[in-house]
């Protein structure tokens, strides 16, 4: 939290290091654990959900143009099913 509130970090071996410019910090989370209230107060929150199946199919076609239509659809279906499982 020191980095976000004071734009500095304390390292025991080096002392306190202050940013010369205000940093742009991007934090990511996979919701594996809860973020602290202090961290939440210092951040803007943006939730980005998974794309719908038709968009995933488009992404696969763009990234792997040689993939067969059948395999692409199978992959999308499998990934959609995996996301419904309670894996945590």
CA angle 46, 50, 54 (to 5 degrees): 135
CA angle 76, 26, 2 (to 5 degrees): 145
13 has a pLDDT exceeding 90: yes
CA separation for the pair 86, 81 (Å, rounded): 11
2 has a pLDDT exceeding 70: no
pLDDT in tens, 25-83: 888 888 778 888 888 888 888 889 999 999 999 999 999 999 999 999 999 999 999 99
Per-residue confidence (pLDDT) for residue 27, from 0 to 100: 83
Per-residue confidence (pLDDT) for residue 1, from 0 to 100: 64
Q: Is the pTM of this model over 0.85?
A: no
Per-residue confidence (pLDDT) for residue 47, from 0 to 100: 87
């Amino acid at each position: 939290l020191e980095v976000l509130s004071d734009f500095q970090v304390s390292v025991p071996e080096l002392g306190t290091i202050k940013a010369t410019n205000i940093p742009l910090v991007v934090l990511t989370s996979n919701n594996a654990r809860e973020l602290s209230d202090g961290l939440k107060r210092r951040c803007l929150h943006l939730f980005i959900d998974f794309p719908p199946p038709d968009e995933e199919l488009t992404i696969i076609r763009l990234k792997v143009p040689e993939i067969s239509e059948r395999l692409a659809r199978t992959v999308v279906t499998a990934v959609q099913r995996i996301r419904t499982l309670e894996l945590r």
